[in-house]
């Protein structure tokens, strides 16, 4: 066991191999095509193949073939094993050093949830509106974009209005709004587009539970007006199904590890 831990640490001690793993961790539970990994990180195919082989050899990533394409997924359990090993002795004598000392979420306030996409114009706006309506008594809900554009998408706004949502407080804004000293401490952070998940994550106060719930971008849909409208309906439906399941979780009885597992499972549910 110790030998494998050391091999994993050595493998992650290389900056670009670490970069590959961090990308796959941000996209977890997605299995990402090798070509997409290389394009995002700017790594040549031959070099990337060596890095992925090294990560796979120590169990940090798994590989699956889809037709002629190889897809890779982070093995989160392997990293948890490394962390458990590193912190084992600390936790015996100094439990305050371990991240597991806060087994459950706070019960003396509303929980804070943030949804992130690139432009903060449609998908994250859908998610914010849905969770507010379905569980506003339990959550303060926010949304933001890594690269916010020109405001809310009018098709998304009209769709929410047609479904009876209050859109008066919805706005498009950047992540920096939630990075200041006075920003609320997030309990949950969700990325709902691959582009946002591909980018380096900011350091969030309080180590929130995070998940990637990737949803295809309806703004990029082409075809007839009906086909483009259907893309927005599909994105809304996928997010609503996940959020309904999420808001039904027993937050007061599940520890953080269990909640993390449950929100990761929701990314895999069939919509």
Active centre residues (catalytic)? 117, 193, 201
Pairing mode, strands 139-145 and 111-117: parallel
Cα Rg, the chain, nearest whole Å = 20
> Is the backbone of residue 241 left (phi > 0), alpha (psi -120 to 50) or beta?
alpha
Inter-residue contact 213 to 190 (CB < 8 Å): yes
Question: Which 3-state string (H, E, C) describes 171-187?
Answer: CCCEHHHHCCCCCCCCC
Cα separation, 198 vs 25, in Å, equals 10
Instruction: Choose among 203, 198, 216: nearest CA to 147.
Output: 198
Instruction: Choose among 198, 146, 217: nearest CA to 38.
Output: 198
Cα separation, 67 vs 176, in Å, equals 41
DSSP bridge partners of 66: 69
Instruction: Choose among 193, 226, 55: nearest CA to 124.
Output: 193
Instruction: Choose among 22, 51, 55, 23: nearest CA to 37.
Output: 23
């Amino acid at each position: 066991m110790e030998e494998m831990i050391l091999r994993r640490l050595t493998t992650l001690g290389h900056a670009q191999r670490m970069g590959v793993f961090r990308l796959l961790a941000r996209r977890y539970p997605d299995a990402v095509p090798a070509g997409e990994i290389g394009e995002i990180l700017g790594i040549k195919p031959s070099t990337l193949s060596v890095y992925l082989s090294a990560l796979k050899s120590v169990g940090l990533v798994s590989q699956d073939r889809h037709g002629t394409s190889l897809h890779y997924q982070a093995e989160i359990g392997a990293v948890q094993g490394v962390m458990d090993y590193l912190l084992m002795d600390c936790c015996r004598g100094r439990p305050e050093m371990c991240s597991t000392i806060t087994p459950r979420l706070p019960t003396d306030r509303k929980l804070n949830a943030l949804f992130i996409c690139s432009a903060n114009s449609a998908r994250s706006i859908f998610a914010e509106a849905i969770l507010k309506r379905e569980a506003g008594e339990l959550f303060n809900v926010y949304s933001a974009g890594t690269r916010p554009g020109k405001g809310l998408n009018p098709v998304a706004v009209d769709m929410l209005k047609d479904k009876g949502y209050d859109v008066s407080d919805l706005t498009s804004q950047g992540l920096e709004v939630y990075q200041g000293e006075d920003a609320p401490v997030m309990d949950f952070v969700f990325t709902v587009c691959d582009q946002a998940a591909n980018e380096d994550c900011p350091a969030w106060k309080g180590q929130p539970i995070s998940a990637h719930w990737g949803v295809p971008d309806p703004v990029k849909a082409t075809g007839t007006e009906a086909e483009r409208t259907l893309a927005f309906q599909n994105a809304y439906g996928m997010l609503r199904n996940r959020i309904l399941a999420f808001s039904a979780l027993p937050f007061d009885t599940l520890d953080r590890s269990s909640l993390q597992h449950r929100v990761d499972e929701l990314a895999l549910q069939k919509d």
